[in-house]
Amino acid sequence: MSLPAEKKSEFLSGVQRAALLLLSLGSDKAAAILKHLSPKEVQVIGVAMAEMQHVSKQQMDMVMDDFVAGVHNQTSMGIGSDDYIRDMMVNALGEEKAKNMIDRILMGTGNKGLEALKWMDPRAVAEIIRLEHPQIIAIVLSYMDPDQSAEVVKFLPERARPDIMMRVAALDGIPPSALRELDGIMEKQFSGSSSSVAQSSMGGVKAAANILNFMDSSDESAILDTIGEYDSEMSDSIRDMMFVFDNLIEVDDRGIQVILREISTETLTLALKAADAGIKEKIFKNMSKRASQMLQEDLEVRGPVRLADAEMAQKEILATARRLADDGDISLGGGGEEFV
């Protein structure tokens, strides 16, 4: 990105500031800092660094001055306090994203084997864990980010998926013995060493819902239906926690407008072919009059589309909405061929 010289540092995003700061530190120091970030954070900041072009000395000076001022204003009060660290991480990342990071920082999980999995291709992860006990697989899936876990599940045996997701939903903290066992398994694949561990809050109904949110609708439905045969209450709880396309009606108008700026007209048209009247009206009223009329005309003249294609478009929009929510740009409310 080419930033105008007169642009003030307060208009830069946090990612852009971090990218500029790391660029100023040199490769060795920047690498040392990146080691403490998650794979996704490294990727986002790396992209921002690669996009930086024609950065002026004035811009760099402002970012550095802001950083130095921030550090200077810090005191030793609260340093080393678990509550202080928790508050800081939650304020910086949000409750959901900070949760597992706080576990690793404060509870001493620090499992290099598990961290290494986050950098691997989902198919490779599935190959490593597919022959392990379903409880071990559930712990691994709970540890990773939900979108990556959803990709891993696709490469696991279909008959095993409902049992694994039930175990994810039933997890209520991970005991030290389970994490030590998982460390031992990972040590066979990687060079990481075992460390002392403590109770972690991974897993649960929300974790299962997050993973299923990123799966294809057919796979998602099949897993939930099978879970329902064994435990209808758990299946209902997972469904209640999932954020589905219909939940977009709970997003405020500003949030809908932000989402619409991120998606293509083709994707939106496909998604609305399988949407109810309430969602359509929500979308139409948050577009300009001309854009709304054109979209409604496209929907009227477009022939039948495969339900699978419409649902895929809806998943794409939901993924965009979750990304925007994770970035703090919007707030999400709540949780054979067919043609439409």
Which three-class secondary structure string do you get for 299-338?
HHHCCCCEHHHHHHHHHHHHHHHHHHHHCCCCCCCCCCCC
Domain final position from 179, 206, 240: 240
φ/ψ (deg, to 5) at 274:
-110, 15
Q: What is the pLDDT of residue 286?
A: 93
Give dist(CA 290, CA 301) in Å, integer. 17
For residue 116, CA distances in Å to 85, 151, 183, 282 come to: 25, 16, 12, 42
Asked whether the predicted pLDDT for residue 164 surpasses 50, the reply is yes
Give dist(CA 55, CA 334) in Å, integer. 41
Asked whether the predicted pLDDT for residue 96 surpasses 70, the reply is no
Mean pLDDT of 176-182: 67
Output the six-digit token pair for 219: 């796979």
Percent of the chain with pLDDT over 70: 70
The residue that leads in pLDDT, 270 or 172, is 270
Q: What is the pLDDT of residue 283?
A: 93
Task: Please answer whether residues 17 and 9 qualify as being in contact, where contact means their C-beta atoms are separated by less than 8 angstroms.
Answer: yes
In a shared domain, residues 197 and 320? no
H or E element, residue 172: none
In a shared domain, residues 218 and 283? no
Asked whether the predicted pLDDT for residue 165 surpasses 90, the reply is yes
How many CB atoms sit inside 10 A of residue 315's CB?
19
Mean pLDDT comparison of 81-90, 186-195, 279-288, highest-scoring range = 279-288
For residue 204, CA distances in Å to 86, 138, 172, 178 come to: 20, 10, 6, 16
Q: What is the pLDDT of residue 322?
A: 79
Cβ neighbours of residue 257 closer than 8 Å, sequence gap 6 or more: 286
Segments forming the whole domain that contains residue 208 = 107-240
Q: What is the pLDDT of residue 161?
A: 92
- Residue with token string 């921030």: 70
pLDDT in tens, 198-243: 344 567 888 888 888 778 777 888 899 899 998 888 888 888 778 7
Asked whether the predicted pLDDT for residue 128 surpasses 60, the reply is yes
pLDDT band at residue 106 using 50, 70 and 90 as cut-offs: very low
Give the domain CATH number at 272.
Answer: 1.10.220.30
Least confident of 168-172, 175-179, 192-196: 192-196
User: Which residues make beta-bridge pairs with 306?
Assistant: 339
Asked whether the predicted pLDDT for residue 191 surpasses 80, the reply is no
In a shared domain, residues 111 and 232? yes
Domain assignment of residue 29, yes or no: yes
pTM check: above 0.85 = no
Output the six-digit token pair for 2: 């080419």
Domain assignment of residue 32, yes or no: yes
In a shared domain, residues 162 and 220? yes
Domain assignment of residue 337, yes or no: no
User: Which residues make beta-bridge pairs with 2?
Assistant: 53
pLDDT in tens, 66-75: 776 666 555 5
In a shared domain, residues 149 and 232? yes
Q: What is the pLDDT of residue 83?
A: 61
Q: What is the pLDDT of residue 241?
A: 79
Q: What is the pLDDT of residue 338?
A: 43
pLDDT in tens, 4-48: 444 444 456 777 778 888 877 777 777 777 777 777 777 778 777
pLDDT in tens, 326-339: 778 888 754 444 44
Question: What interhelical angle do 307-326 and 253-260 show, nearest 10?
Answer: 110
Give dist(CA 132, CA 139) in Å, integer. 11
In a shared domain, residues 178 and 125? yes
Give dist(CA 149, CA 153) in Å, integer. 6
Domain assignment of residue 282, yes or no: yes
The residue that leads in pLDDT, 56 or 140, is 140
The count of structural domains within the chain is 3
Mean pLDDT of 176-181: 67
In a shared domain, residues 122 and 187? yes
In a shared domain, residues 144 and 212? yes
Mean pLDDT of 174-197: 58
Domain assignment of residue 313, yes or no: yes
In a shared domain, residues 165 and 191? yes
Task: Please answer whether residues 332 and 322 qualify as being in contact, where contact means their C-beta atoms are separated by less than 8 angstroms.
Answer: yes
Domain final position from 19, 50, 72: 72
pLDDT band at residue 185 using 50, 70 and 90 as cut-offs: low
**DSSP tally for the chain: helices H, then strands E:** 20, 0
- Residue with token string 């067919």: 338
Mean pLDDT of 285-295: 91
pLDDT band at residue 155 using 50, 70 and 90 as cut-offs: very high
Domain assignment of residue 27, yes or no: yes
SS3 content of the chain, % helix, strand, coil (to 5): 70, 0, 30
Domain final position from 240, 275, 301: 240
In a shared domain, residues 236 and 269? no
Mean pLDDT of the chain: 76
Domain assignment of residue 4, yes or no: no
In a shared domain, residues 256 and 275? yes
Domain assignment of residue 155, yes or no: yes
In a shared domain, residues 206 and 163? yes
Mean pLDDT comparison of 89-103, 137-151, 161-175, 272-286, highest-scoring range = 272-286
Output the six-digit token pair for 130: 């597919």
Asked whether the predicted pLDDT for residue 78 surpasses 70, the reply is no
Nearest C-alpha neighbor of 22 from the set 12, 9, 36, 32:
32
